[in-house]
A and B are shown apart, each in its own frame.
Chain A
Amino acid sequence: MSEITNLTATEIASAVREGIVSAVDILDAFLDRIADVDPHVGAFLIVTSDAARQAATAVDAKIAAGIDPGKLAGVPIAIKDNMCTRGIATTCASKLLDGFIPPYDATVITRLQDAGAVIIGKTNLDEFAMGSSCENSALGVTRNPWDLSKVPGGSSGGSAAAVAARLVPIALGSDTGGSIRQPAAFCGTIGLKPTYGMVSRFGLVAFASSLDQIGPFANTVDDIALVMEVLSGHDPKDSTSLPIDAPELMKASHGDIKGLRIGIPDEYFADGISEPVREAVMEVVDKLVELGAVVSHLSMPHTEYTLPAYYIVAPAEASSNLARYDGVRYGNRASKTLSHEDLAEKTREQGFGPEVKRRILIGTYALSAGYYDAFYHKAMQVRTLIQQDFVKAFEHVDVLITPTTPTTAFGIGEKSDDPLAMKLSDICTLSANLAGVPGISIPAGFDDEGLPFGVQLLGPALSEALLLKVSRAYLDATNWTDQEPVL
C-alpha cells in the first residue's frame, strides 16, 4: 500500500476515474499511513474515518454507475480545523469551541465534496489561526516532519505537516498574514495564498475578514492547480467573493518562462534574514535566469511599516470578529455567572489562550476612543501605501521573489513566550494580505540541518496561473519535491 500514499492527487483522481483503483482502496492506504505516522507528527485533531468511507464508497458507486465523480475523485483531503464541516467538530484549536459541531458546511467543503474529494480529517492550528508555530493550539502539539523537535510553522501547521508527511496529497489552510506560506516553507511543501476574493470565505471562522483567504498545500504544482480549479470562483454567500469563474490553472500553468521579468525587492533581504536563507533565494534566482528569466532589483519603500500596519489592522478586525464568543449560542460557557457581562467575561477568560487574548486586547486598544486615528486609521492609510508599492513594482516586473521566512523552522518552545520574535517569522508574508495579492511558497532545498528552505513568489491580483507557471519551471528543474521526510 505504501506506493499509493506517494501518488499525487492528480494521479489518484485519474486512476480512480479510469477505474484502475477504487476510492475506498485509496482511502484505506492513507488511513493506514495516518495510523502509523501521525502519532509522531500530530497533524490531525480528528480523523473522520467513517464519513470518509461513506464519501469514498459514494465515489466508487458513481464510477460503477458510469457517472463522472468529479475532478478530485477519491482524493483524500485534510482541512484546517477553522473551516465549518457539517456534523463534524470544528474547534479552531480553542477550548472555547471544543465540542462545537457546525450545522452547515463551508463553501470550500461543499465544492470539494461535489468534485468527488474524500475529506479525511481536520488538522491542528494555532488557536483561531493566530500564531506562527502551532504552539498556540489548546488541543495538541504538531511537529515538523523533517525534524520532530522543530515547529511545523503556523497557523496552518497541521495541514502543512500532513502534506509533507504524505498523510494526504492535498490539505486546505487559511492565510491571514502568512499562515499557509510560512508553514509550507517550514515543512518543504508548496502553499498558495490566492488573490483576496478568489476562494469563498463562507464557513471559514473569521479572524481578520479583510485579510483571510483559504488556499491549498500540495507537493506538486499540478495538485495545486487541480484543487484551485475546484475551490475558486464566485460564491454569492461571500460578499467579498470576486465575480469571476474559476480559472483554468492546469492548462495555463504550463509553458516556458523566457523573458519573464523577476523583481528582487531589496527591503525583503534586510537585517533579520539569515544568510543561508538569502543564499537559497539567490540560488533560485540563478536557476530562473538559466531558464530564461530576466532579473532586476527594485525598492518597495514602505516594506518596513508592514509589521506595525498588519498588527493594528488584523487584531482590530479580530477583536470585532471574536466578540461573538460570549458563551450564549455555541461553544463552552462559564458556569455560575451573575449577569450577561459576567457570563461573557468569564467564558472568554477561560476559553481563550494567551495569544488570542493579546490580539483581542491590542485590537480593542487600537479601536478605542482617543487611539483610533493614531493607530487604526493611520494603519489603513499605510496599507494603501503598501499596496501602491506593489502596483508600482508590477509596472516594471511580472513577479517578485523573496524569502518566505527569515530562517528555517525553529525549535518547539524556542519563541513561544516571546510574541514579538514569533511575529517576526511572518515578516516576509504579511504584505501580500494587506495588498490582497497572491503569493506562493515553493521548496528551495535544505539547510545544513536538513530543514527545508521556502522561497516566496508574489504576483499582481489574479496572477495565480503565472505564479504556478514559474513554480513549475523551477521545480521541474530541481528534485526538491521528490524528497520526503523519513518517518
Chain B
Amino acid sequence: MALSPDDVRKVGSLARLALTDDEVEHLTPQLNDLIAQFERLQAVDTSGVPAMSHAVPVVAFLREDVVVPSLPKAVVLAMGPEVDELLGGFVVPQVLAGDA
C-alpha cells in the first residue's frame, strides 16, 4: 500500500496542507517507511477483539443545566489575527461567490 507522490498531495489536500513539490518528494519515502511498519499489524489475529478508543471507560454525561460564566467576547476576539471589532467577529476571506 505504498503511497505515490500524487497520493501524498491528495492526503495533503484532505489535511489542508498546501505541500510544496520539494516537501512531497522528501515526505513520500518517509511516510512509506512508517506505513511499512503499519503493515505488520495485519499479522495480528484480531477477530472478535473489541476496538479501544480510551484506556479507561469514558462516559459522556450532561452537566446540570446551569448558566456559568464564559469568556467575554472581547477577550476571545483579542486572540484573532484579524477581527472586525465593530461587527464583533473574526474576518475570513469571502466564502460565497459574488461581488466582494
Contacts and interface: CB of A to CB of B under 8 A. Distances in A.
B93 A239 contact: no
B51 A377 contact: yes
B46 A385 contact: yes
Interface string B20-39: 10010011001101110110
A480 interface: no
A330 interface: yes
Given A210-B53, A387-B52, A103 B78 contact: yes
B71 to A, nearest CB: 6
A37 interface: no
Given A319-B15, A329-B79, A387-B55, A305 B44 contact: yes
B81 A331 contact: yes
B86 interface: no
Contacts of A329: 76, 79-80, 90
Contact of B54 (A195, A240, A361): A240
A326 interface: yes
B41 interface: yes
Interface residues on A, range: 35 or more
Contacts of A380: 51-53
Interface of A is mostly: helix
Interface string B57-81: 0101101000000010001101111
A436 B52 CA distance: 11
Interface residues of B, number: 53
Nearest to B97: A339
Nearest to B63: A236
Contact of A104 (B46, B71, B82): B71
B30 to A, nearest CB: 5
B77 to A, nearest CB: 9
A100 B52 contact: no
Nearest to B48: A381
A333 B80 CA distance: 9
B54 A382 contact: no
Nearest to B45: A385
Given A103-B76, A333-B81, A378 B34 contact: no
Interface of B: 1, 3, 8, 11-20, 23, 26-27, 30-31, 33-35, 37-38, 40-42, 44, 46, 49-56, 58, 60-61, 63, 71, 75-76, 78-82, 90, 92-95
Given A343-B93, A357-B17, 18 more contacts: A103-B71, A103-B75, A197-B56, A210-B54, A236-B63, A319-B15, A328-B81, A340-B92, A362-B34, A365-B31, A366-B38, A374-B42, A381-B46, A384-B50, A387-B52, A420-B30, A420-B34, A434-B55
26 contacts: A196-B56, A239-B60, A240-B58, A242-B56, A302-B44, A305-B41, A308-B38, A311-B38, A330-B81, A333-B82, A340-B92, A343-B92, A346-B18, A348-B16, A349-B17, A354-B26, A357-B17, A360-B15, A365-B35, A379-B38, A380-B51, A381-B46, A382-B41, A384-B52, A420-B30, A420-B34
Interface of A: 100-104, 195-197, 210, 236, 239-240, 242, 302, 304-305, 307-309, 311-312, 319, 323, 326-333, 337-346, 348-349, 352, 354, 357-358, 360-362, 364-366, 368, 371, 374-375, 377-385, 387, 419-420, 423, 434-437, 461
